[in-house]
Amino acid sequence: MSAIVADHLARSLAARGFDRCFGYLGHHIDPLPQALLSQGMPVVIAASETGAGFMAQGWSMASARAGLVFCGGGPGLAMLIPALQAARAEGFPLLAIIGQTSTTGLPTFQDTGALGSRDRELLDALQFPGLQISSPLELPAGLELVCDALAAGRPAALTIPADILAAPWPAAGGESLPPRLGFERHHQLTGPVVPADPFPGAQQPIEPCSYRAVVRALLASLPSGTLWFGDAGQARHAMRMEFEGRGLRLFDCPQSGPMGWAIAAAIGAAFHEPDRPVCCFTGDGSARMQAHEWATAVQHQLPITFVLAVNGVLGGPYERMQGSGAQGLSQVPPVDWCALAASMGLPACRVEGTQEIAAALAALPPRGPRLLELPLPALDPEVVAPYSLSCSASR
Ligand SMILES: Cc1ncc(C[n+]2csc(CCOP(=O)(O)OP(=O)(O)O)c2C)c(N)n1
């Protein structure tokens, strides 16, 4: 079979050291995952583009290398946006390859009708750095530019129309390249750089129930060398507070904090470190957004302990709406999380307090994936007071 542009792109990505990718399928982009697989690169198909983007970020943080995510345009890009926004805000070196409507302009399924999906305007509005490939001949130089940005620890996007991705390679006219200035840039390939930290372990005594006590119990129960992920809300704040001064690295998104990020990012990290324990601490509001990715952890039998704090509310909104008559809006409807986990084949256990955590973990399959669920207060004063302060400071 003769090579197409997607084959060349896949070969180039492999040659540049990418050896794992995350994504979601769609007709704009499908030739790329097929080509990546035929290069021998493992391709992880997540439950959604958001999950795929967060996984690529977790993988990138754990490996201290650039992450790779692909998806189609239109609804695909729309679902990737939380990950792109986090990558830009936190300075993750993430390469997003986004398939686009064909240059023939013919509307096809999911091209979102006559108005078009406005993907490039979306990326522009996000000020997400990247390039639009509008001819196969631009691909090598375009890839070089975005990889330069990644090497400096910055995110970048390559958008490629579906017909160009599927065009024959080498392109008619040979391999000579157009001048770099011919690219349509979304935004400059600049941004902050991600710091790298070591991952030492810790042993601490267990104390009574609170978000911070849960973190201490987990630190005492899980092996040193565990990779720790904190989700949005009180779980992340408690981890930040407990990790400070311990020399431990917490993987989180302090600038943007997308809910559910830690579930998918922990999965991404576990793909990089399949023999290393990973722990992810999440609230029930955040879990509602990404719990479907537990199935991805089960599918690949990843060594992750998901810890779920069930407090029945979205902590921050619940606090802010106190006394307003609107507080009911911040409730999280009850979910039988252990049953949900069981439906995905995820071993799960519910405990009533921090003192039961060690025994429950010992009773669950040791390696994971596994879920530990426990009730926590709607608002934990130990965590909420500094949390409120940090929110008002950032307003
Ligand atoms: C995608 C997304 N939507 C909204 C927010 C704003 N937000 C930050 S934390 C939070 C509540 C989190 O609730 P939960 O996960 O249950 O944790 P809790 O604070 O209750 O412990 C909200 C709504 C966000 N960070 N990300």
All domains of the chain in start order, with CATH: 5-165 (3.40.50.970), 201-388 (3.40.50.970)
Atom of ligand 1 nearest to the CA of 284: 16
pLDDT digits (tens, 9 = 90+) for 272-294: 989 999 999 999 999 999 999 99
Decide whether any atom of ligand 1 lies within 6 Å of the 377 Cβ: no
Atom of ligand 1 nearest to the CA of 282: 15
From 54, 211, 236, 286, give the residue whose CB has the most ligand 1 atoms within 8 Å, as the site to mutate.
Answer: 286
State the angle between helix axes of 211-221 and 381-394 in degrees (0 to 180), rounded to the nearest 10.
110
Which tokens belong to 67?
A: 């992450």
What's the length of the chain? Answer: 395
Ligand 1 centre to CA of 293 (Å) is 18
Quick one: pLDDT band at residue 257, thresholds 50, 70, 90? Answer: confident
Query: pLDDT higher for 136 or 297?
Result: 297
- Average pLDDT on 369-384 reads 93
- Average pLDDT on 253-278 reads 94
pLDDT digits (tens, 9 = 90+) for 164-198: 999 998 755 544 444 434 556 666 665 444 443 33
CA 146, CA 131: separation in Å to the nearest integer? 8
Q: What mean pLDDT is reported for the chain?
A: 86
Q: Are the CB atoms for 358 and 382 separated by under 8 Å?
A: no
State the angle between helix axes of 31-38 and 5-15 in degrees (0 to 180), rounded to the nearest 10.
50
Does the pLDDT of residue 111 top 90, yes or no? no
Closest CA to 274 of 370, 369, 365: 369
Atom of ligand 1 nearest to the CA of 283: 15
Which tokens belong to 195?
A: 């710091």
What number of other Cβ atoms are within 10 A of residue 163's Cβ? 15
pLDDT digits (tens, 9 = 90+) for 131-157: 999 889 899 889 999 999 898 888 999
Closest CA to 128 of 54, 60, 190, 55: 190
Decide whether any atom of ligand 1 lies within 6 Å of the 317 Cβ: yes
Does the pLDDT of residue 299 top 50, yes or no? yes
Q: How confident is the model at residue 247, as a pLDDT? A: 86
From 259, 263, 395, give the residue whose CB has the most ligand 1 atoms within 8 Å, as the site to mutate.
Answer: 259
Decide whether any atom of ligand 1 lies within 6 Å of the 311 Cβ: yes
Decide whether any atom of ligand 1 lies within 6 Å of the 309 Cβ: yes
Cis omega (within 30 of 0) for bond into 192: no
Q: CA torsion angle for 95, 44, 46, 189 (degrees, to 10)?
A: 0
Atom of ligand 1 nearest to the CA of 376: 21
Q: Are the CB atoms for 123 and 159 separated by under 8 Å?
A: yes
Q: What global pTM score does this model have?
A: 0.85
- Label the pairing between strands 130-132 and 184-187: antiparallel
Q: Are the CB atoms for 86 and 57 separated by under 8 Å?
A: yes
What number of other Cβ atoms are within 10 A of residue 283's Cβ? 26
Ligand 1 centre to CA of 160 (Å) is 34
The answer for residues whose C-beta is within 8 angstroms of residue 230's C-beta and 6 or more apart is: 236, 239, 240, 250, 251, 252, 262, 280, 281
